[in-house]
Amino acid sequence: MNEPAFQHVLSVDPGISVDEVQALIQAVWEDFRDDPEYRQESVGDDAVLAGLEQEAAAPLQAKPNAEGTGLVTTILIAAAGGISAQYGVRALDTLWNRVILPRLQKKFGDRIKG
């Protein structure tokens, strides 16, 4: 039985673009991948993420989602091709919740909801 792919819908205020979110995801990923101290502070010795830091590009991607209603729009965060199958949804959930989402919230504050 195949494990489902990682997906997360992010609610954002208008004016926050998919490109901005993806650029920050990539920057956070590069910090995580290249800085063992940052990786340790973020996730400790969580074995579920073992080997993930070897990926060159961010394993999560921001994509346009169906338009939201009113003053809120949504951005779909999904696993890059093959990443869910290789590392598992649990690893991507950990990366999202403990590393990437906190940095998005720090930058955008209450203009973004995960």
Nearest to 28 by CA among 109, 114, 95: 95
Helices and strands (DSSP H and E) totals, the chain: 5, 4
Residue 35 tokens, joined:
């800085």
Query: What's the confidence (pLDDT) of residue 67?
Result: 60
What are the residue ranges spanned by the domains of the chain?
7-108
**Mean pLDDT split into 10-residue runs, the chain, 114 residues:** 73 89 94 90 81 86 73 82 83 91 94 88
Tally Cβ neighbours within 10 Å of residue 16: 19
Enumerate the H helices of 4-65 as residue ranges.
18-34, 36-43
Query: What's the confidence (pLDDT) of residue 96?
Result: 93
| Dist CA 81 CA 23 (whole Å) | 18
Residue type for 100, please? I
Residue 1 tokens, joined:
């039985």
